[in-house]
Structure 1
Amino acid sequence: MRLSTVLLRQHIGFHFKKHWIIQGKRVPMETGADVELAARGIPVVDPNELIKDHKVPLPRLKVIGQLPPEVQRDENHPLYKPEECYLYGDRDVLLEGVRQAQVLLNTVVYDELPLKMKERLDRAKVPTQLDRSMQQSILAALVFDAEQVKRPIVKVPERPAYKLPREYGISNERRNRLLLSKFVTHCERLAGQSVTSTRKVIANTRFLVPMTKDLDRIQLSLKVDTLVTSAAPITPLDKSIYRPQDQSLPDIFPLNQTVSIPTTNFYEWLNEYPIGREYKFSHPHTVLLHCAPEDVANLFETPVTDDQKDSRAMIKGFAVAAARARQLYGDNVGTLPHPITVQVIQTDSKWFHFSIFQLNTLNLDGSNENDRNLWFRKPRMDLYSECGYLVGKPSLLDYDKEVLKHFAVFYESS
């Protein structure tokens, strides 16, 4: 008895394989269509001959000269500068986190939001219908979206050499972008036409801020994922109430203020604010930032801490305000005639971090204690605990409606 493969009654693979073999042996049948067409005086032409007659030869591309040579990164490069510069980019983080950012930007930190912002939060109310719509929007952005790409590599700290199987799903960049757009849309619905008519939303803006401190040349080259601008600037906080001289800057000795910031000789030493000052909605209002794990990395390949991520939000808020200040008052401005206030919201699609940066001065040496910048921050807030398919059902667990309330108050502030 010859042993053979056991075939089940319903074997889809075997069925398709045999079906293709049978169909491939079929002989085309004569339908008599050409005879009928000839009887009616309609000529029958071989399609191959028809295509052959109309085939147009393509002209041969002639390359005149040679391709431009690759630009070498040496002294002849157009961006080369003999003075070395510390270049802080989007993927960089500070080694000492917020403490180092305080020293670098001459800024004092308050671990709470301003009093007027707290009063607005106490008075703010989100309708139940809008809150339910926000929950459905979260599921639409984080679960129901149709994008399927390779997700980032997940590593197990206890087994660094073990590679987990790659998963397919929605990329972190798209998750953050969709979620922030949903929040902005719901804030517009809650605020009404009177507020939304004074706001504009701009995506992927670039800011360049050069500065010199203690003979070090430092360049901030940062991208803002979403920038909300307004027709009027945010009213600055009174420095007589929030007194920067009552706090001292931290001491990070023996570390330098530029530690962990990479250096380069190829950079543009100029100030760049992406919106012209003649534009009606040119005032910066709120900065929305993505902070996925693959967006930032330590220079020494150590895990990025929460404090380092907070310092990233602080520096980006300073960059937006400083670029705007130099556009208004010139590149050599020191103490600003009118402080510039920028709100910053940073998220990884699960946690949200709300903060406010007020730029009072661009004199970063810290010699004048009465002339320092202010940064207000609030502890992180989790939008949910779990969002995905649980037991085959899309679920959003432990949804926190306070995040939408904070977002709406930030959007409506003036």
Structure 2
Amino acid sequence: MSTVIMHGIGAMRPCSVTFVKSVQCCGGVSRNPAVALRWFSVDRYLCARPPTRRESRTVVEIPGLEPITYAERMHFVPGLAKPTFPPWHRGWHDPRHAVWPKYEEMEPRRDRPCYVFHQRTAVLEGVRQALWLTKAIVKQGLPSQVLSIADEVANQIENQDECVLQAIQHSRFWDTTEKKPSRERFCPVLLRDLLHLCGTLQVRHAALGERMLAEKYSVAACWTRGGDLFQVRGQNGLLLNSMSPVPVVAGREEVLSSQDKVLETFYPISPTIDLQVTYVYNEKTNTGSFREGYPYPHAHTLYLLESGDAPRLREHQVCAKMIMFAFGNALARAHSLYGAEPRILDQPVVVQSVATNGRTFSFVIFQLNTTDLDSDTGVKNLVWLDADQPLYEYAKIRPLIKKKVVQVPAGVAGYQPETFKKFLALYLHGVV
């Protein structure tokens, strides 16, 4: 015997009475066959029973009795206990299957927390937070004695603007066949080409040969600020090392006059916001990658690239990153020269930093005057900042046309020669 019932949307479909009864038995939803079938067709989980989970049995250990397991039989046997085997060791270290200790059991574990600034840190307050952490005062723009280096004709490259335009075209057009290359592609190519252009001046300035470009270097620097312990560490950017230190920018009088300056705060926001908090750390301050006796011990300029898998940072966060890592290199050098005891440096340590995303450039000069960073009083460190300077506006393979009018022509548009002059001035600083 069969019957015909209505489906949810009005379609006619045959159904067996036995099937309808089975639906009623499974869920006990309704005695009406049409309602039971409609409910079953909408969602089967409404009528199905939840799966039964077998509770894990607790193994009871009786002293003096050894459980009988199925280890010797090499297969599961009902009624026998599950065997426990000792951990198997490969005899060599495999990082893919390494068993690391728990965070609570790691060594060396401290009672005092440490706030770490690393290469993936994006601080909320940006430059203001970096200035407070490094006990520094910022001055907008680069010093006049540094900018004047690139203004002299003897320090300029032959056909300078044409060479820079060719470097931009090489990174955006000639190095790839893609219509729109990614930032991870053209950003490092442009930086390498610009450094190569600056290196061609070695025929005029022989001291440029006393430098070395280090890649994937690491730095670690510890200091106390406001009663808390801070550390900047990690691998970040390219570091240009030199046999001689960078000349001091601010004189003795200007350094002593910084005692009267008041550091800017951002209360009620904590200065440690967005910094990694850890209780497992080593209080060390070194350059990690460079051993004692390295012929290029002085950090000259740090080049940061806004590319790779690092999170995208805003302009003030990039500048904060430049300040922190320049400060870390300067503090590590100061500790190696004068020791870890807080003091005012007889000879300040200067480290420069340049950051680029392939179109805009930011410049920082950090002068470390003191390692006494705990209090807000006394001599402060100095920072010269010139941020977000475009090298060019557009680089288009095809022109941008709107309403039959060319808005942006093909090629490089909006070239700013002053930006490269600042790049060249920081490169030649200490040689001229």
Per the normalisation by structure 1, the TM-score is: 0.72
Structure 2 residue aligned with 1:116:
145
Name the SS for the 1:255 alignment partner: coil
Alignment of 1:7-406 (within 5 A): 65-67=88-90, 69-123=98-152, 126-127=156-157, 129-146=159-176, 170-192=181-203, 193-236=205-248, 237-241=250-254, 243-273=257-287, 274-292=289-307, 295-296=310-311, 304-369=313-378, 371-391=379-399, 395-406=411-422
Letter of the 1:280 counterpart = P
Partner of 2:252: helix, strand, or coil?
coil
The letter for the 1-side match of 2:101 is Q
Q: Which runs of 4+ in 1 moved over 6 A?
A: none
Measured on the aligned residues, the alpha-carbon RMSD in Å equals 2.6
Aligned to 2:35: none
- The change in CA–CA distance for 1:191 and 1:247 in structure 2 (over 3 A counts) is farther
**Considering only CA atoms, is the larger Rg found in Structure 1 or Structure 2?**
2
What is the CA deviation profile of residues 79-117 of structure 1, one whole-angstrom value per residue up to 9, with x for unaligned ones? Answer: 543432212111112211111222211101111222311
- Using a 3 Å threshold, how does the CA distance of structure 1 residues 277 and 171 change in structure 2: closer, same or farther? farther
For 1:349 and 1:174, locate their aligned partners in 2 and report how far apart those are by CA, in whole Å.
Answer: 9
Give the whole-Å Cα distance in 1 for the aligned partners of 2:299 and 2:245: 7
Q: Secondary structure at the match of 1:380?
A: strand
Shift in CA distance, 368/96, structure 1 to aligned 2, threshold 3 Å: same
With over 3 angstroms needed to count, the CA separation of the structure-2 counterparts of 1:403 and 1:219, relative to structure 1, is same
Question: Which residue in 1 is equivalent to 2:74?
Answer: none
- 1: CA distance between counterparts of 2:371 and 2:183? 35
Aligned residues: 325
CA contact (8 A) 2:169 2:412 kept: yes
State how far apart, in whole Å, the 2-side matches of 1:147 and 1:317 are.
36
How far apart are the structure 2 equivalents of 1:395 and 1:380? 22
Measured after TM superposition, the shift of residue 308 of structure 1 is 2.1
Instruction: Give the letter for the 1:83 counterpart.
Output: R
Deviations 1:165-215 (A, max 9, x none): xxx964433422221111111001134351321221111211111122233
Secondary structure, counterpart of 2:165 in structure 1: helix
The answer (yes or no) to whether the contact 2:119–2:236 under 8 Å persists in 1 is no
1:219-242 superposed Cα distances (whole Å, 9 cap, x missing partner):
211323111111111121213146
Conserved 8 A contact 2:300-2:352: yes
Q: Relative to 1, partners in 2 of residues 1:127 and 1:115: Cα closer, same or farther, differing over 3 Å?
A: closer
- CA shift in 2, pair 1:83/1:169, >3 Å: farther
2:3 is aligned to none
Is the CA contact (8 Å cut-off) linking 2:122 and 2:274 kept in structure 1?
yes
Equivalent residue number for residue 51 of structure 2: none
The one-letter code of the counterpart of 2:200 is R
Normalising by structure 2, report the TM-score. 0.69
